[in-house]
Structure 1
Amino acid sequence: MIFFNPSRLRFARMRRGFTKARLAKELGLQVRSIQGYETGEYAPEPDKLSGLSVILRFPTEFFAGDDLPTIAPETASFRSMSKMSATLRNSALGAGVTAFLLNEWIEARFHLPEADLPDLSDLSPEEAAATLRRIWGLGEAPIGNLIHLLEAKGIRVYSLAIEAKEVDAFSVWHSGQPFVFLNTFKSAEHSRFDAAHELGHLVRDRHTMLHGAAHSPEMERDANAFASALLMPRANVVARGSGFITLDKLTQLKQNWGVSLAALAYRMNHLGLFSEWTYRNLCIQIAKNGYRTSEPSPMRPESSQVLRKVFDALRSDGITRANLAKELHIIQDDIDNLTFGLILSNVSRAPINSNVKDTRRSL
């Protein structure tokens, strides 16, 4: 019988959103048996381990690995923690842990950008956004591809394929490395704002996140204000947003900054570019036309440049998605769900060299 790590069973169960009772029912066991497996009181028999593998969609080899890293819920920047079920939260955190495994595998083979994030915790959201733009040399210009910018500054960006509006995005620090996770079921405009929101947490709330302090509504409001100021810098918006603003004009303007209609209307109102009456009227029109969830003139979704380059290099080496999944002891869907659907070729030409020395390549 292979070594069985009970902590990996608990992880797999929570990652797939199973309660102990549901898993026991699926296996035809008593809940007490699942409790015994997870506490290490006893290991599952080979047939039960095979059943666990099928139900939870993890290879049997996965359950023989070392202890996994963990993400404490209080260290992750979930925006709507109070509205999120424990099942959804645990599933999202489990995806994050899987990303750590994938990221570790990648960083053992490739030189990725080092983290370059200043500590701006002593600044207001508006000041922090303006300061970060100066430090990063962005000036007042709109940001072209936000994911590419974050990756260039050493932030590891992965996707979350969780079809639940409560899980929009989250960020976390792991081993001194900043990570951002973005839900791919949202519009490109909303995803960009989520990415900027999480960047706000990383540069303004790092100490809070590292020490596991609870995220407050004020922190979430500040992160939203930071994202708004970062994506729509004051001088640039004021220069372009003068005159009478209609919904059609707003639709044209939003494409300059890659933001949603609602976000642009809020920012322009905050900067005093139109009256409260105009703002309320625009909000009514936005809601009436269904533009809270579906944007007019939608932009193309952003994706990871780093992961694309990694996958291109792996493909040239004959390393497939199946190879990578086998190496990590996870299923291929888990890789797709973390990597914006970027897919490696399924035609293998060469095996993975598991004994990789310090021969990492630059992207």
Structure 2
Amino acid sequence: MKEIIGGNLTRYRKSLRLSQEQLAEIVGMTRQSINNYENAKTLPDSKTLSALARALGVTLDDLLRPESEGLPNFRFRAHASFGNNPQFAAQVLRMLETYNNLEQAVGLPPYTPESSPCHQVEGNEKRIAEIASRFRRCLGLGEAPIFNLFETVEELGLKVLRFPHPIEGFFGLSACSDAQGAFVLIKSHNIKIERQLFTLAHEIGHLICHRNDYQDALIEEGTKEEEKAREKVADYFAGHLLVPQAELERMYQLTTNIIKLKQHFRVGYQVILTRLTEIGIIDYAKEKAKICAAYKKQHGSSLKNSMELPPQLKPEDFPENERYQQLIWQALKLGKISEMKAAELLDLTVEKLRVRRQEAEVYAIS
């Protein structure tokens, strides 16, 4: 246990770019004590361990968990940046563990989309489009635009969380367990709704097409070429899931206006450009250059890749983590979790939780 704690203390401290002296000052102890803990010479008591966890932005469980240990039965779409941010990787594990425990507490069955392995786009275009079409049928959609993909896939039972962590280079990840279902985490910090929706569709593509490539840990493995090919497959799947072929062709006969097309399908303008390029109607680079020139003329500033053409989807039309919050309230009602735990998960005070609970009871149908 001393070795596990020592290794975790070192890893989490270095990720925050703290020296042993700086960490010692924060928690009110000597540098030599920190050195002894990190080198497994001495074992900190519970009070000291709690203080160290708070200073490092993790929990006691995170300090006691072996670095290589994930969650039982879960495999992940790994991400390279987690190697430099172990605190966030630990937080992801906690969120998934909590969501999974809530489902079990209220007796909900796990959900995992059907696996259809595919590792490159070239030569598989029709197959990937059919995989996307099959998943749309599972959602009960046919060719219709998807009003709210978050809500729609959560109704199937997919575990989805949107989380405002500002980690650079990260947009989303997915995890899967044959016994406990599938999970998708979407970054929401300074990310437009259109991009969040595409990320969700992209990760569903990975869950369907690359499940055999998921790993036991959150740190990325494999070659860059393999990963690029998988990313292209997930992008292609996402495009066809959000913008099905027949409906795109029908709408393009009615209007060639990119703004109207993106509004109809409730996606970003770049998704529309990509899909029209795939079916040979436009040249992506030329059309994007025209759009960027028109935007700059109208607004006096450049249209960056991270930006979206107005009008944009409104965040208030896509409330975050509704299913997750409903599970918390349900688990509380069933007596599976305490008021204190429910308040912690909902980021409320216990007093505020009780007020909301009373309000819900007043308006409940008896």
TM-score norm. by structure 2 comes to 0.73
1:152 aligns with 2:155: yes
**1:111 aligned residue (73, 92, 107):** 107
Q: Could you tell me whether the CA contact under 8 Å between 1:20 and 1:34 is conserved in 2?
A: no
How big is the shift at 1:166? 0.3
**2:205 aligned residue (200, 206, 222):** 200
Cα distance in 2 for residues equivalent to 1:120 and 1:259: 25
| 1:281 aligned partner | 290
Letter in 1 for 2:279: L
| 1:356 aligned partner | none
Of residues 116-125 and 90-99 in structure 1, the stretch that sits farther from structure 2 once superposed is 116-125
How big is the shift at 1:118? 1.0
Q: Could you tell me whether the CA contact under 8 Å between 1:9 and 1:63 is conserved in 2?
A: no
Identity %: 20
Of residues 171-180 and 284-293 in structure 1, the stretch that sits farther from structure 2 once superposed is 284-293
Letter in 1 for 2:290: N
Of residues 192-201 and 143-152 in structure 1, the stretch that sits farther from structure 2 once superposed is 143-152
> Which structure dedicates a bigger proportion of its chain to helix?
2
- SS of the equivalent of 1:114 reads coil
Q: 1:47 to 1:309 in 2, by over 3 A?
A: closer
**2:181 aligned residue (170, 177, 189):** 177
Q: 1:274 to 1:148 in 2, by over 3 A?
A: same
Letter in 1 for 2:205: G
Q: 1:106 to 1:118 in 2, by over 3 A?
A: same
**2:249 aligned residue (238, 241, 247):** 238
| 1:299 aligned partner | 313
Cα distance in 2 for residues equivalent to 1:242 and 1:16: 58
| 1:310 aligned partner | 327
Letter in 2 for 1:221: K
**1:22 aligned residue (19, 23, 44):** 19
How big is the shift at 1:264? 1.5
Letter in 2 for 1:127: E
Q: 1:204 to 1:285 in 2, by over 3 A?
A: farther
Q: Could you tell me whether the CA contact under 8 Å between 1:146 and 1:192 is conserved in 2?
A: yes
How big is the shift at 1:308? 2.8
Cα distance in 2 for residues equivalent to 1:53 and 1:116: 34
Q: Could you tell me whether the CA contact under 8 Å between 1:250 and 1:261 is conserved in 2?
A: yes
Cα distance in 1 for residues equivalent to 2:128 and 2:92: 27
| 2:121 aligned partner | none
Cα distance in 2 for residues equivalent to 1:37 and 1:178: 37
Structure 2 unaligned runs (5+)? 119-123, 356-366
How big is the shift at 1:128? 1.6
Q: 1:59 to 1:78 in 2, by over 3 A?
A: closer
| 2:96 aligned partner | 100
Cα distance in 2 for residues equivalent to 1:271 and 1:202: 25
Structure 1 unaligned runs (5+)? 327-331, 336-341, 351-363
How big is the shift at 1:169? 0.6
**1:257 aligned residue (254, 265, 275):** 265
How big is the shift at 1:283? 5.1
Q: Could you tell me whether the CA contact under 8 Å between 2:77 and 2:175 is conserved in 1?
A: yes
